[in-house]
Each structure stands twice: as C-alpha cells, then as structure tokens.
Amino acid sequence: MTTPETERALRLTVLVGESDGWHHRPVFTEIVHRAHRAGLSGASVFRGIEGFGASSMIHTQRLLSLSEDLPVAVVIVDTEARIRAFLPLVEELVADGGLVVLDECEIVRFGGEREREQGR
C-alpha cells in the first residue's frame, strides 16, 4: 500500500439561508456559478435540515414546523491563493448576512484521482 500524495489547501464554507437571494437568483447558486467562472476546482452545496443564525430563529425541515429558509452551506476547496482571490466575489453576496469560514486543510490524492487531474 502506497502513501497517498497530499497537498495543502484552503476550504471556504459560506453559510447562508436557502431563501437568500441575489438579483432573482438564490445566493448559493450565484456563489457556485461565480466559482465556476473563476476556474476554482469545484463547489458543492449542502442543504441543512435544521439550524439557526444571527436572528436566533430556529429553522427546521420537520413536518410540524416547515421552514422556507433552511441553512445552506457552499463548500469550495482550492489553493489558498485562489480561494483568497475569490473572497471579494463572495463578499458582495453575503454583505447583508451569512457567514464565511476559512479552514486550512489537506487534499489527499489517490492514484485514480491523480491521473484524472493530470489528464484535464
């Protein structure tokens, strides 16, 4: 068994409400499209089933208390330089609310993934 290759990276997580909008489009969708145009390595959106934010109001997916504003997390992992260059594009989208988190992380490359990355 070989030791997998790793590289240092930065994880950007943007937490917003599902109903947060930007020019008639969900904020989370706008973040994904901006990340794509910026050439970042990828973006994923995760919908929460329950949570609360600055308003302290709990939003939940449970049937008896349906919410239209569930928490949403957009997660992007790339090099530190590319993530930091992308931050101004996120800033205008979350200026009225939302939380932006940066975490140092490591990307683990296994054989098949490394070959796919080199082939693009």
Of 22, 27, 69, residue with least CA distance to 50: 69
Residue 9, phi-psi category: left (phi > 0), alpha (psi -120 to 50), beta (remainder):
beta
Q: For residue 71, count CB atoms less than 10 angstroms from its CB and return exposed for 0-12, middle for 13-18, buried for 19 or more.
A: buried
Q: Does 114 or 95 have the greater pLDDT score? A: 95
The 10 Å Cβ neighbour count of residue 77 is 20
Residue 105 has pLDDT above 90, yes or no: yes
Q: What is the pLDDT of residues 7-64, one digit of tens each?
A: 999 999 999 988 899 999 999 999 999 999 999 999 999 998 777 666 656 656 555 5
Residue 102 has pLDDT above 90, yes or no: yes
Average pLDDT in the 85-102 region?
A: 93
Q: Which two tokens stand for residue 54?
A: 């600055």
Residue 6 has pLDDT above 60, yes or no: yes
pLDDT at residue 62 in the model:
56
- What pTM does this model have? 0.80
| Dist. CA 10–CA 59, nearest whole Å | 29
Q: Which two tokens stand for residue 100?
A: 């932006």
Looking up tokens 């499209």 gives 33
Distance of CA 85 to the CA centre of its chain: 15
